[in-house]
Amino acid sequence: MKFGVLGTGMVGRTIGTKLVSLGHEVRMGARTATNEKARDWAREHAPKATFGSFGDAAAFGETIFNCTNGANSIEALRSAGDRLANKIVIDVANPLDFSKGMPPTLTIVNDDSLGERIQKTFPRAKVVKALNTINCAVMVDPQKVAGGEHDVFVAGNDGAAKEQVTELLRTFGWKNVVDAGDIGASRGLEAYLLLWVRLMGALKTPSFNVHVVR
Ligand SMILES: NC(=O)c1ccc[n+]([C@@H]2O[C@H](COP(=O)([O-])OP(=O)(O)OC[C@H]3O[C@@H](n4cnc5c(N)ncnc54)[C@H](OP(=O)(O)O)[C@@H]3O)[C@@H](O)[C@H]2O)c1
């Protein structure tokens, strides 16, 4: 399958590398079509990996990953514009604000979320919030923690899109994919980061996750 990965940070490169290792074709996007991180990553993973602008990556992908800085994701996705229409947009971003130091706060919170803002701004995209509650190394290798006996959440308004994302996550190694409901569930999934950063400090590792027990 063809994926557009928007974002050249640790998350975009980790997810892009996983997708290529699974045999997919991936175009990584950045603000400029000449981004050095994207170029180096694409060289390392050629021929299945290529790079370009956010718009190029969105046009290339049948499914899109939003791995951009959460405080700037709407702006980043705007440059992809219409190319998101009718596509699944897997939103991994968290709207974290580090401007006042640690711990971060959220730029969107309580009665709104980044996932919802993206869905409202791009109504023809099928936005699925997923993977934002885990460190990127665990996102693509859940067995790293407790043999994979922990949970990843999906949230979105389109049931078929959530099923497709669930299937993709299973190929990443996820055994437990919990459907948290419509895109409004992004409020809780993003606010969980306030706890996540505290747990990372207390546990002194980013390699942990939660498991919902019924
Ligand atoms: N680190 C983790 O393990 C982890 C876990 C869960 C969720 N997340 C979330 O995943 C996302 C990516 O995290 P990251 O650490 O890999 O990268 P990041 O540094 O948060 O974001 C990098 C990307 O954001 C773009 N960007 C930055 N400012 C921008 C602006 N003003 N306008 C448009 N685009 C802008 C950059 O564009 P250029 O390429 O052009 O520079 C780059 O592609 C974040 O939302 C983060 O909260 C991270």
- Ligand 1 neighbours, Cβ below 6 Å, are 7-12, 30-31, 35, 67-70, 72, 75-76, 92-94, 96, 132, 135-136
Per-residue pLDDT at 86 exceeds 90: yes
Please report the pLDDT score of residue 51 as a whole number: 98
Question: For residue 176, what is the enclosing H or E element?
Answer: strand 176-181
Q: Which atom of ligand 1 is nearest to the CA of 206?
A: 3
Question: For residue 51, what is the enclosing H or E element?
Answer: strand 49-53
Q: Which atom of ligand 1 is nearest to the CA of 10?
A: 16
DSSP string for residues in 2-22? EEEEE--SHHHHHHHHHHHHT
What percentage of the chain reaches a pLDDT higher than 90? 100
As a whole number, mean pLDDT of residues 52-76 equals 98
Question: Is-above-0.85 flag for pTM?
Answer: yes
Nearest CA to ligand 1 atom 42: 7
Per-residue pLDDT at 125 exceeds 90: yes
Please report the pLDDT score of residue 81 as a whole number: 82
